[in-house]
Amino acid sequence: QQQVKQSPQSLIVQKGGISIINCAYENTAFDYFPWYQQFPGKGPALLIAIRPDVSEKKEGRFTISFNKSAKQFSLHIMDSQPGDSATYFCAAQNTGFQKLVFGTGTRLLVSP
Amino acid sequence: DGGITQSPKYLFRKEGQNVTLSCEQNLNHDAMYWYRQDPGQGLRLIYYSQIVNDFQKGDIAEGYSVSREKKESFPLTVTSAQKNPTAFYLCASSGQLATNEKLFFGSGTQLSVL
């Protein structure tokens, strides 16, 4: 119930392409869904986040799509660039609790 | 510069030895966290603290201990009871995660067993 399942584990996309990472959850009490980006040898940093009252949130080339009925959300990176090569983690939280539940991560490589 | 400082960047542990990872923050955050990162397993919560002199076990606390004597500091000790300590350890802080404030992470400590 507390798990967040993330796929794929790794992804290779050509420069200019669209990267798509998917996450699914079971706990319907989750009400906050952030994505974190991690470069090698660094800690993760918040990239973008969404609440279930909207179906989509866009910030620049990064978009979260949220499907409440399917309990799924995804990250889309448009016009992917080599600088986007990183590990991406989805996460979920039940607001009011102090813990984030993280997915297992997706290693993205954008080839030049 | 505001942020979280973890030290050392690399640490080696001999069998039967306890080692302590340092985490200091100057963000004036109340909450601090320790995560363990293993390839393919994501980030798993070891311990967290919402206030000085108080902390709670996370999902994988066995073999670890923490203290929170100062707001700025949240050291993690990996004890000899932790049989598989090799991992990347991340410290994080937040204002109050319960209000969806974002986590700020340090740059991590890579712990390896000799």
Model confidence pLDDT, tens digit, residues B18-53: 999 999 999 999 999 999 999 888 899 999 999 999
Nearest-CA distance B29 → chain A (Å): 13
A94 pLDDT tier (thresholds 50, 70, 90):
confident
Nearest to B98 among A6, A97, A104 (CB): A97
| Whether B97 and A32 lie within 8 Å, measured CB to CB | no
Between residues B97 and B34, the one the model is more confident about? B34
Between residues A99 and A107, the one the model is more confident about? A107
Please give the share of chain A, as a percent, with pLDDT higher than 70.
97
Disruptive mutation site among B25, B46, B103 for chain A (greatest number of A CBs within 10 Å): B103
CA-based torsion, A54, A59, A60, A61: positive or negative:
negative
Return the pLDDT at A1. Answer: 59
- The CB density around residue B4, as the number of other CB atoms within 10 Å, is 23
Measured CA to CA, the distance from residue B65 to residue B48 in angstroms comes to: 11
Mean pLDDT of A57-77: 96
Please give the share of chain A, as a percent, with pLDDT higher than 90.
85
Mean pLDDT of A24-42: 94
| Whether B97 and A103 lie within 8 Å, measured CB to CB | no
DSSP symbols for B55-83: EEE-TT-TTEEE--SBTTB--EEE-TT-S
Nearest to A98 among B4, B35, B98 (CB): B98
Nearest to B48 among A46, A98, A105 (CB): A98
CA-derived radius of gyration, chain A: 13
Return the pLDDT at B1. Answer: 56
> B38 to chain A: nearest residue by CA?
A104
Model confidence pLDDT, tens digit, residues B47-72: 999 999 999 999 999 999 999 999 99
| Whether A6 and B4 lie within 8 Å, measured CB to CB | no
Residue B103 is classified by DSSP as P
Task: Give the containing element (helix H, strand E) for B93.
Answer: strand B87-94
Return the pLDDT at A95. Answer: 81
Q: If you average pLDDT over every residue of chain B, what do you get?
A: 92
> B33 to chain A: nearest residue by CA?
A99
Return the pLDDT at A65. Answer: 96
Mean pLDDT of B89-96: 91
B31 CB within 8 Å of a chain A CB: yes
B2 pLDDT tier (thresholds 50, 70, 90):
low
